[in-house]
Amino acid sequence: MSVSIEKLKKIRQHHGWSQERLAEMTRLSLRTIQRIETSGNASLESKLAIATAFNISPGELLDDEAIEVGNGGINSGGVTGVILCTGLMFYQFVLAGVSYFDLISLLLVIVLTIAMSSISLGLKNTITTFLLLRWVLVAPKNEMSLQKHLPYLNKVILYCHIAGAISTLVGIIAVFMTPASFSYQYMPEAKYPFTMGLGVALLTYLYACMLAELILRPLKHQIERLLIQHKSSN
């Protein structure tokens, strides 16, 4: 397994860590850290330990060289996963007899995530990152420099959770501040309007978790797996 010497040094210096500090945080020997920063060669265990210490993915330690990754074709694993998740969600949302779908909540999470991502990453990088969702169903083919997408995916996953938390908090505040007479007027069919309002507010975080943990994070892990396979085969 190889790592980028320059990226490793840059990340370590960004954290303000010396080689001794990195060795302490990873529980690796100082000689091992020095060897990795000199040769760029690291065992899988060492690479995972360093990535964990920096709270990044192992793929972010790879070189930014223009390598081609992926053979294309239908991503059978992704298709299977989508079918299973869709079937489970359909059962929970429809067949179970209780409606958990709220379009406004879903759109709110998506729009807030895109907004925060655009501010942080720029509109172009945000669009590029969301376009990666096609790889859930169709595997990448001869894609260049996949590792550059990993930091962006990390940020978008974080923004999904933040968008869900903020939207849910706003919804809960709105429920507490809404007069009971107003609730009964606009939700006459609800037996407990207050409880129903809280449920709708919590839906936004549910949608955020689904987007982040059922789609974006598995996609990130797929890219990491392709990069590791490529490095292992060379």
Do 42 and 72 belong together in one domain?
no
How many domains does one find in the chain? 2
> Which of 14, 44, 61 finishes a domain?
61
What's the half-sphere exposure (Cβ side, CA atoms, 13 Å) at 199? 11
Do 87 and 155 belong together in one domain?
yes
Mean pLDDT, the chain, rounded, equals 81
**Other CB atoms within 10 A of residue 45 CB:** 11
Tell me how far apart the alpha carbons of residues 159 and 105 are, in angstroms, rounded to a whole number: 15
Span of 82-96, 102-116, 161-175, 193-207 with lowest mean pLDDT: 82-96
Q: Which domain holds residue 19?
A: 5-61
Is the pTM of the predicted complex or chain greater than 0.85? no
pLDDT tens figures, 58-80? 777 776 555 566 677 788 888 88
Looking at residue 138, the DSSP 8-state letter turns out to be B
Segments in the chain forming alpha helices (H)? 5-14, 19-26, 30-39, 44-54, 76-90, 103-121, 123-131, 149-177, 180-186, 193-211, 217-233
pLDDT tens figures, 1-50? 578 888 888 888 888 899 999 999 989 899 999 998 888 888 878 888 88
Query: What band does 113 get if pLDDT is binned at 50, 70 and 90?
Result: very high
Span of 38-42, 101-105, 167-171, 230-234 with lowest mean pLDDT: 230-234
